[in-house]
Amino acid sequence: MLVYRFRTWVLLLLVIFPDPSLSHFDSAKKKQMREKVRKMFYHAYENYMTHAFPHDELKPLSRSFTDSLSELGNLKLEHLPQNYNGTALTLIESLSSLVILGNCTEFERAVLWLSENLTFDVDARVNLFECKSLELLVLAEDFLPAFDTPTGLPYAWINLKYGVMKNETTETSTSGCGSLILEMGALSRLTGDPRYESAALRALRKLWSMRSSLNLLGTTLDMETGEWIEHSSGIGAGVDSFYEYLFKAHILFGKEDLWRMFHSAYLAVQKYFRHGPWYHEADMRTGKATYWQLTSLQAFWPGLQVLVGDIAAANTSHREFVYVWKKFGVLPERYLLDHQMLHPTEKYYPLRPELAESTFYLYQATKDPWYMEVGETIVNSLNSYTKVEGGFASIRDVTTMQTEDHMHSFFLAETCKYLYLLFDDSFLVDWNHIFTTEGHPLPVLSAWQDRLPEIYIPSNWTYVKDEKKTKRSSAMSLQVWPALSLNAGHGEQLAESACHVPDAQSDHKCFGDEECGIDSTSCRRRSCSMAGYCGLWLVV
């Protein structure tokens, strides 16, 4: 019986932590996959330049275009404003991808064309969040009036020519007004004009002040009154990049208050949204579950957890997304966890990048070739189901793989980029960076830091000693990457997740709750039982 159990545990460990030597990903295979992704990129890019440029996005089935950035997207060519030639959205979003693929000649040609031809002096209503990565140096002055509100929260929509229009809607999303700090902060650093960063920070801090007593935020709100409209929230659509930008802005600018915000928000997510490997939605006021569903946008979360250092939790959730991808061939927009079925009206897959993004981050953190195998699965699916003669088409229904006549700009900006970097990360060597939510790299520069962080020790100890006493702390409180192994020289176990704080005693005995730590997988505080042991005890 003992031998049987031993073999069972060995098999389980091999499934969870596969032997890298068993992988077929040698250097030749990586090169082969890199070139496969490169061909995907140029098949999409060249079709856009031939059939859609300078308009926003490609319609690959009809080989035409759509101006989806603004509300002009559904108008026929003869009904467009006289001076409107498009904003070349896909070209702009492809610029950093061209650099990463090593095509500096095409990058320079594109930048030259944009500098000579692109204009935003047009009567078109655009979404502030969606166009924040466009020519910010051109648009910056036009953006600022959107922040001139009683709350400091910006309007979601703005007219490129006339600014905020009369009777403009006051409804916006948490992501929409809380995910502008990276681009506008970088713009202030580049121009020396602090107004852009100040406006974005004011909005972000106002949004945080609207959180519930549980440190949760809703999904939609009225930016004029500061009142919540939708109290149900999660880590997906409407909220996702808010969490992403809190943490990345702390990395980019070194602002300690953003770290404290993220720390509190992350623990609240783990406490109220997490259910095993999944994350459901909950009411921000009570923490009670509202919708048990997986959405494709949630797939970014494991990538963010990698940056935080919570590798174990990231891996667990990522594998569930991979399971759903393999089940349907691509990742459906919405999957009902409580019924184990597709959402009846959201069966589509619009070429989203989030799973590829998280796969890239997890490979960077672990160097486990299994993630390259996941990348190969994604690449093969995209070529099998979405590649058409005129580019790559969205999937209308994952049960039939019926295609739809739309190729979003993020396919070139993010999906292809993260897949390429998974198989060839040479672009990332020797420089520190973060990616925006649209997949554009920003350099982490000491000159941009409000305050340089203390020099980080090479490994992250769970215990940190000062002259007076030993303090129990976590990777998250130390703001360092938690290591994943043992250091034989010191004989102490390193933190395996960002929030983990071990119990005071190695045998988990205790006299009170203060001697119990924080659980490494759920990020919930452990308590001392009547028998004198720390654990996640249920209160009856």
Cα 112 to chain centroid distance, Å, stands at 30
H helix intervals, 437-503: 475-478
H and E: helices and strands count for the chain: 17, 26
* DSSP bridge pairs for 485: none
Cα 117 to chain centroid distance, Å, stands at 32
Q: Are 409 and 401 in contact (CB under 8 A)?
A: no
* DSSP bridge pairs for 68: none
Return the amino acid letter for 165: M
Token duo for residue 32: 């082969």
- How far apart are the C-alpha atoms of 246 and 200, rounded to whole Å? 12
Side-chain-side CA neighbours of 42 within 13 Å: the count stands at 10
What is the four-CA torsion angle of 272, 275, 280, 285, rounded to 10 degrees?
Answer: -20
C-alpha distances out from residue 257 to 201, 228, 251, Å: 11, 23, 12
- How far apart are the C-alpha atoms of 382 and 44, rounded to whole Å? 12
537: left (phi over 0), alpha (psi -120 to 50) or beta: beta
Residues annotated as catalytic are 130, 240, 333, 354
Backbone angles phi, psi at 510, to 5 degrees: -155, 160
Cis before 154 (ω within 30): no
Q: Are 88 and 65 in contact (CB under 8 A)?
A: no
Cβ of 337: how many Cβ atoms within 10 Å?
A: 15
205: left (phi over 0), alpha (psi -120 to 50) or beta: alpha
Q: DSSP labels for 388-452?
A: ETTEE-EEEETTTTEEES-B-THIIIIIHHHHHHHH--GGGTT--EEE-TTS-EEE--GGG-SSP
Q: Are 408 and 350 in contact (CB under 8 A)?
A: yes
Q: Are 500 and 462 in contact (CB under 8 A)?
A: yes
* DSSP bridge pairs for 470: 465
Q: Are 416 and 98 in contact (CB under 8 A)?
A: no
Tokens 């597709």 locate to 342
- How far apart are the C-alpha atoms of 240 and 258, rounded to whole Å? 16
Burial of 351 (0-12, 13-18, 19+ CB in 10 A): buried
